[in-house]
């Protein structure tokens, strides 16, 4: 390798490893980093049942929180208490769904090896239907108890600093988003079919939105993305060959882009060079695999594409660091 190539190599790999988000201790703006626990936490106030809570955390690439030990329980509880959310119960990632009486965490630890400060007499599997644990801030020092997994409660997700990975180009923790240099946006094509509303919600969980098409180049890029993304075999009923996108005409206000602006695109970006007028029940936006825009029923399940605009602010310090640091320790020349 000539010295120049070597230098570039160093800058790139150094920038990715040492100056990645780990050192900045940042995961997502809605998670709080607790240094003593080397982890990020978020309290979700919208009640969900246990399975859904677990899914929401996984979607954020975190796990449904359970305290690993007494220390974590105490530090977490004081964080929880300080949020003044008025939330007094939280589901935790601890259940005996698989084997009655044998509690296990969502990350596969035995209930005997983690925080196990059960309320006296709990878990009692009351009525034979209680397999999911929650933690209670009301009764004392943070007791655990079991309840029906169908019951909805608030919950917390946890992400360890150790498990944090960073997509530098997209400035987000999700590695499966790809950067489009033409418009500075990052995209992910989801191959789990959902209806438009669910797809929109899922993109938002990933801190993105359903993809927006503003011009021909966007459409062409998305069409290419559909070709380059491997399509897994998916069971069940869904509409093949189309992809939900971020526009709709749901409230008789004409076509709008998610976020609320009117949709202004060249008519010939629409399938058939014609913008549908909402004359039928097809009030949601999608595209064919070739990038042509179409209206579809919001209930239709299909693949979909999320996008994230990268608003990365590179401070002069960041640039200086990246260029200067590889020389530290010398030995390059």
Ligand X SMILES: *[C@@H]1O[C@H](CO)[C@@H](O)[C@H](O)[C@H]1NC(C)=O
- Which stretches of the chain bind ligand X, using CB under 6 A? 49, 51-52, 77-78, 81, 137, 149-150, 195, 197-198, 298-299
**What is the distance, to the nearest Å, from the Cα of residue 124 to the centroid of all Cα atoms in its chain?**
34
Q: What's the CA angle centered on 53, arms 298 and 232, to 5 degrees?
A: 55
> SS3 of 273, please?
helix
Peptide bond into 324 cis (omega under 30): no
- Residue in the block written with tokens 């993109």: 203
* Packing angle, helices 3-17 and 316-324, rounded to 10: 130
Find the shortest distance in angstroms from Cβ 57 to ligand X. 14
Find the shortest distance in angstroms from Cβ 298 to ligand X. 4
- Residue in the block written with tokens 């878990």: 123
**Which CB, 164 or 306, lies closer to ligand X?**
306
d(CA 330, CA 325): 10
Q: DSSP per residue over 116-134, as a string? A: --BPTT----GGG-EEEEE
Residue nearest to ligand X (CB): 197
**Which CB, 48 or 158, lies closer to ligand X?**
48
Find the shortest distance in angstroms from Cβ 61 to ligand X. 21
Both structure tokens of 183: 């418009």
> SS3 of 323, please?
helix
**Which CB, 118 or 221, lies closer to ligand X?**
118
**Which CB, 149 or 222, lies closer to ligand X?**
149
**Which CB, 22 or 250, lies closer to ligand X?**
250
Find the shortest distance in angstroms from Cβ 197 to ligand X. 3
Find the shortest distance in angstroms from Cβ 122 to ligand X. 18
**Which CB, 59 or 81, lies closer to ligand X?**
81
Find the shortest distance in angstroms from Cβ 199 to ligand X. 9
**What is the distance, to the nearest Å, from the Cα of residue 233 to the centroid of all Cα atoms in its chain?**
23
**Which CB, 149 or 263, lies closer to ligand X?**
149
Q: What's the CA angle centered on 44, arms 43 and 45, to 5 degrees?
A: 105
Find the shortest distance in angstroms from Cβ 289 to ligand X. 22
94 within 8 A of 114, measured Cβ to Cβ: yes
**Which CB, 204 or 216, lies closer to ligand X?**
204
Find the shortest distance in angstroms from Cβ 92 to ligand X. 16
**What is the distance, to the nearest Å, from the Cα of residue 205 to the centroid of all Cα atoms in its chain?**
4
Both structure tokens of 288: 């064919």
Q: How many CB atoms lie within 10 A of CB 230?
A: 6
């Amino acid at each position: 390798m000539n010295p120049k190539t070597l230098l570039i190599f160093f800058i790139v790999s150094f920038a990715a490893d040492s100056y990645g988000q780990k050192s900045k201790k940042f995961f997502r703006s809605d998670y709080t980093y607790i240094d003593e626990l080397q982890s990020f936490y978020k309290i979700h106030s919208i009640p969900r049942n246990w399975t859904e809570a677990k899914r929401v955390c996984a979607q954020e690439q975190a796990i449904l929180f359970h305290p690993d030990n007494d220390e974590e329980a105490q530090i977490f509880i004081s964080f929880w208490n300080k949020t003044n959310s008025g939330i007094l119960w939280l589901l935790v990632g601890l259940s005996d769904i698989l084997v009655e009486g044998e509690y296990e965490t969502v990350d596969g630890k035995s209930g005997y090896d983690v925080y196990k400060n059960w309320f006296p007499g709990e878990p009692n599997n009351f009525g034979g239907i209680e397999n999911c644990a929650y933690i209670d801030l009301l009764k004392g020092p943070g007791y655990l108890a079991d309840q029906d997994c169908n019951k909805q409660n608030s919950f917390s997700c946890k992400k360890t600093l150790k498990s944090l990975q960073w997509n530098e180009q997209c400035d987000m923790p999700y590695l499966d988003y790809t950067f489009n240099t033409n418009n500075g946006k990052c995209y992910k094509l989801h191959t789990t079919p959902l209806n438009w509303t669910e797809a929109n919600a899922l993109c938002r969980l990933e801190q993105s939105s359903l993809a927006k098409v503003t011009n021909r180049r966007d459409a062409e890029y998305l069409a290419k993305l559909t070709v380059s993304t491997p399509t897994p075999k998916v069971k069940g009923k869904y509409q093949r060959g189309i992809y939900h996108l971020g526009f709709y005409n749901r409230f008789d206000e004409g076509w709008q882009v998610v976020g609320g602006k009117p949709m202004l695109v060249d008519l010939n970006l629409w399938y058939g060079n014609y913008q549908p007028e909402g004359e039928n029940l097809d009030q949601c936006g999608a595209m064919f695999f070739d990038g042509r825009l179409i209206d579809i029923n919001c209930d239709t399940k299909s693949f979909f594409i999320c996008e994230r605009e990268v608003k990365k602010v590179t401070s002069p310090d960041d640039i200086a660091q990246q260029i200067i640091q590889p020389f530290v320790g010398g030995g390059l020349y």
